[in-house]
Structure 1
């Protein structure tokens, strides 16, 4: 499936918005809160990963195939360390960091509504929303 599973436009999105006010009860806000929360976890994970593996920040001018192998290798090592290391300073630092969501609004261009796969994405977003609401 091609496309981007973004939040619903026009609804509260960022976690701090939900923490400051009432908890979301409207289905689209419930989805957006879950989306924001998951996005924060993913961003934090990528931050730890890039901090641990400096090569990812300045990816040398390797061929695309070699870059893919570097990404796969560092993620495999990252996951192994996460599962088996008793202590790791990068993971410890990330536990102390409470990412409250990004401050900037979602980029309008990344929320295409008429791009390839947009109808499939909308159906999927609605199915996920229904499952979050217990429907």
Structure 2
């Protein structure tokens, strides 16, 4: 799991679980989610993340609508959402292109893999900070979003509030 900002800097990474682990599983037990829940519960209503349909919706984690009607407000929201999420796909592409060892399985103990990914993320951020360019011709193609929307069973109040916020945003488009 990677969280990045608009400058393609990696703000959080969690490589403790294999790629076969579902996105929602990794998110639900992550420190990043705990941080956002605490911020939300202490009154922060402005921090938002954009997640793909592999995540459950929450007030601070907005996901796309499932199967919206063409040209509806929900459809327009999904277009804007996809456009906004494009940065994470580009970041992952640059990250893996810059550190090509991440393109395939790292044959080390899981604890060492976590350290390798964390160091690569730190070096990536240093490169971004000092504007060290990456040759984009070498980056892998982004993956397709084909997973269904998974609702987190942990807190239906957060899900309801997330849906309300998403609807409110969609209605302004």
**TM-score under structure 1 normalisation?**
0.62
1:107 paired residue number: 147
Tell me the secondary structure at the aligned position of residue 89 of structure 1: coil
Based on CA coordinates, which of the two structures has the bigger radius of gyration?
1
Match of 1:127 among 153, 156, 165: 165
Tell me the secondary structure at the aligned position of residue 62 of structure 1: coil
* 1:116 has 2:162 as partner: no
Alignment of 1:65-104 (within 5 A): 65-85=111-131, 87-90=132-135, 93=136
Does 1 or 2 have the higher relative contact order (CA < 8 Å, sep 6+)? 1
Between structures 1 and 2, the one with greater helix share? 1
1:112, 1:118 within 8 Å by CA — same for their partners in 2?
no
1:30, 1:129 within 8 Å by CA — same for their partners in 2?
no
Deviations 1:107-132 (A, max 9, x none): 22xx124x523733342243144256
Q: Gaps (5+ residues) in structure 2?
A: 1-26, 29-54, 58-62
Tell me the secondary structure at the aligned position of residue 118 of structure 2: helix
Q: CA deviation at 1:41?
A: 1.4
Match of 1:56 among 102, 110, 133: 102
**TM-aligned CA distance change 1:42 to 1:107, over 3 Å:** same
Alignment: residue pair count: 112
**TM-aligned CA distance change 1:32 to 1:88, over 3 Å:** same
1:59, 1:67 within 8 Å by CA — same for their partners in 2?
no
Between structures 1 and 2, the one with greater strand share? 2
